Amino acid sequence: MLVEIVTIGNEVLSGRTLDTNFAFLARALEAASVQVGWHSTAADAVERIGEAIRLALDRADAVVVTGGLGPTPDDMTRKAVATVLGRPLQLDEAVRERILTRIRRAGRKILPAIESQALLPLGAEAWPNELGTAPGILIVHKGKPVVLLPGVPAEMEALATTCLVPYLRERSGRRVETFTLRTAGVYESWLHEKIGQAPTAWPGATLAYLPSYFGVDLRVTVSGTDEARVLDSTGRAYDELKALIGPWIYAEGEQTMEEVLGELLLERKWRLATAESCTGGLLAKRITDVPGASRYFERGFVTYSDAAKVSQLGVREADLVAHGAVSEPVAMQMADGARERSGAELGIAITGIAGPGGGTAAKPVGTVHIAVASPEGAAARKFHFLGTRRTVRERSAQTALDLARRRLAGLPLDPKLD
């Protein structure tokens, strides 16, 4: 089944709003083994929306439209679809009553325009929207599903998860299994070489390499009409990948590095303190993004200047003069200082040159020293991250989390790339 996704909105075409709805839908449909063949965006105009839907129906097996279902004058998707499909809009009393009930419960004033969201093309089916007023709308036109979803991301995601994906999966008649393994410390090219031709032995499977600031995710999707065969292939893929690249896998699914580190700290009943220079608090932010981080995160030091490193962390002035702020001795002392002055069992430190200026021949932009200190002692590693200022900072924080994870898990800080 080939699907086209059509997103509606002037704000998307202007570049002021990122099309995150498409990204979510594409991922959700891929996981259900429904292939997205095309993606288009149309302005908030009946003619433009109608043209996009007409073209999509000509080439796709199903069309998913998101946006333009609200009560304001620029919400024109219903009218455009009704015109293109030749299905006049009709008031759906059941949908109207659900909308009015929701508004009354919220204590809001009922405006006449709100009821326009209960207008559905002739023969359409409404999917209840538990998070808003505009329902999802399903129309099967000449054997092809046309699905209209609200543009509000939370509402769209909920309807896509509970209604759209199950509907298309059932319609495709295929069993789908998927899993994701998250790696850190290795590049996509190395993973590709290490894994080699292994996926050819997994019937019905596809392997996607998904690089980002945080590492490379490996997502395996297995689909087919034979459930036992799909499950067997999925298990084989999982076992072989773990055997091939196990030392570089830090999590599965959507779990983040900071969540993994938090679990390890709780297991050990340890507390953590951070000391940051070039990342300016990004590491502490990542750690405290995890709900419940107060159970193990003690405090964070942002010591951007040399004076702050001396006064807050006890870094020796002589070492700053001899080696510079971006050096192994300073990183080690920052980690030790964070640990000692906070009373935490684990200290993590980052000092580097994020750029775009400040680099030298000896220490170019992207040079970063990261250290971890614990009751077992301190260790530091030097890195050179390429990219923008943001890239250097993000990769520094991720690598620091990974080094701390490895220290807590008793893993080598430098696993060998055999």
Q: Are 275 and 303 in contact (CB under 8 A)?
A: yes
In this model, does residue 294 exceed pLDDT 90? Answer: yes
pTM > 0.95: yes or no: no
E strand intervals along 75-135: 89-91, 119-121, 125-127
70 vs 298, residue with greater confidence: 298
Instruction: Give the mean model confidence (pLDDT) for residues 243-269.
Output: 97
Which of 23-37, 79-93, 320-334 bottoms out in mean pLDDT, i.e. has the lowest?
23-37
Among 3.40.980.10, 3.40.50.970, 3.40.50.300, 3.30.1540.10, name the CATH number for the domain at 2-172. 3.40.980.10
Question: What DSSP character marks residue 86?
Answer: T
CATH class of the domain at 175-252: alpha beta
Which token pair is 84?
């293109």
3-state helix, strand, coil in the chain (%, to 5): 45, 25, 30
Do the two domains 175-252 and 257-409 of this chain adopt the same fold? no
Confidence class of residue 310 from pLDDT cuts 50, 70 and 90? very high
Give the model confidence (pLDDT) of 91-131 as tens digits: 999 999 999 998 888 888 888 778 889 999 999 999 999 99
pLDDT for res 289: 98
Q: Flag whether pLDDT at 13 surpasses 90.
A: yes
Class of domain 257-409: alpha beta
* CB 87 within 8 Å of CB 139: yes
Kindly tell me the number of DSSP H helices and DSSP E strands found in the chain: 15, 17
Q: Are 248 and 186 in contact (CB under 8 A)?
A: yes
At residue 360, φ and ψ (nearest 5 deg) are -135, 175
Q: Mean of the pLDDT values across residues 347-369?
A: 97
Measured between alpha carbons, how far is 55 from 58 in angstroms, rounded to an integer?
5
Helical segments of 119-160, H only: 153-159
Signed CA dihedral, 404, 405, 411, 415: sign only: negative
Residues in contact with 208: Cβ distance below 8 Å, sequence separation at least 6, in sequence order: 218, 219, 220, 221
Residues 6+ apart with CB under 8 A from 243: none
Between these two residues, 72 and 336, which has the higher pLDDT value?
Answer: 336
pLDDT mean across residues, the chain: 95
| Dihedral of alpha carbons 328, 329, 332, 333, sign | negative
Separation between Cα atoms, residue 281 and residue 275, nearest integer Å: 8
Q: In whole angstroms, what separates CA 124 from the centre of its chain?
A: 33
- Structure confidence at residue 188 (pLDDT): 95
Q: Where are the domains of the chain?
A: 2-172, 175-252, 257-409
Given a cut of 80, is residue 418 above it in pLDDT? Answer: no
